[in-house]
């Protein structure tokens, strides 16, 4: 289904959902960013204490995170695909594969070594 679903379709659906409930007036960037963080926390909660979430709970929380990400995009006018590819380009430069492959340590530690300081 991901293969044949456009982000714009999902953005339209979240906008329709909010409009039909007269919730657009609540959907300012500050509150939407908080709602996104709350949903991300609910996703983390599924894994707390090494629990293994059931598939439906995982799908529900991923859906909630995506929902508020899409709402945030609607409220701010940020084009998600453009933002993704722009940031992806920055990440390619920030995390050169030959330098970071297999490493999980913090960016600053290998940046420090790379610059020879």
List contacts with Mg ion (CB under 5 A). Answer: 39, 42, 64
DSSP 78: -
Nearer to Mg ion, 39 or 71 (CB): 39
Among residues 15 and 53, whose Cβ is nearest to Mg ion? 53
Give the residue with the Cβ less far from Mg ion, 7 or 58.
58
Nearer to Mg ion, 41 or 109 (CB): 41
Residue nearest to Mg ion as judged by C-beta position: 64
Q: How far is the CB of 75 from Mg ion (least distance, A)?
A: 19
Q: Least distance in Å: CB of 84 to Mg ion? A: 23
- State the nearest-atom distance from the C-beta of 46 to Mg ion, in Å: 10
- Closest separation in Å from C-beta 15 to Mg ion: 19
Which residues 6+ apart lie within 8 Å of 12 measured at CB?
Answer: none
């Amino acid at each position: 289904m991901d293969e044949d679903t456009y982000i714009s379709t999902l953005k339209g659906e979240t906008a329709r959902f909010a409009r039909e409930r007269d919730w657009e007036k609540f959907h300012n960037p500050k509150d939407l960013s908080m709602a996104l963080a709350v949903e991300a926390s609910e996703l983390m909660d599924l894994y707390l204490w090494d629990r293994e979430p059931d598939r439906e709970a995982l799908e529900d929380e991923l859906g909630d995170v995506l929902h508020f990400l899409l709402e945030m995009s609607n409220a701010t006018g940020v084009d998600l695909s453009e933002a993704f590819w722009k940031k992806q380009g920055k990440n390619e430069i920030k995390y050169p594969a030959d330098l970071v492959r297999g490493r999980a340590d913090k960016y600053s530690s290998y940046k420090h070594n790379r610059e020879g300081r």
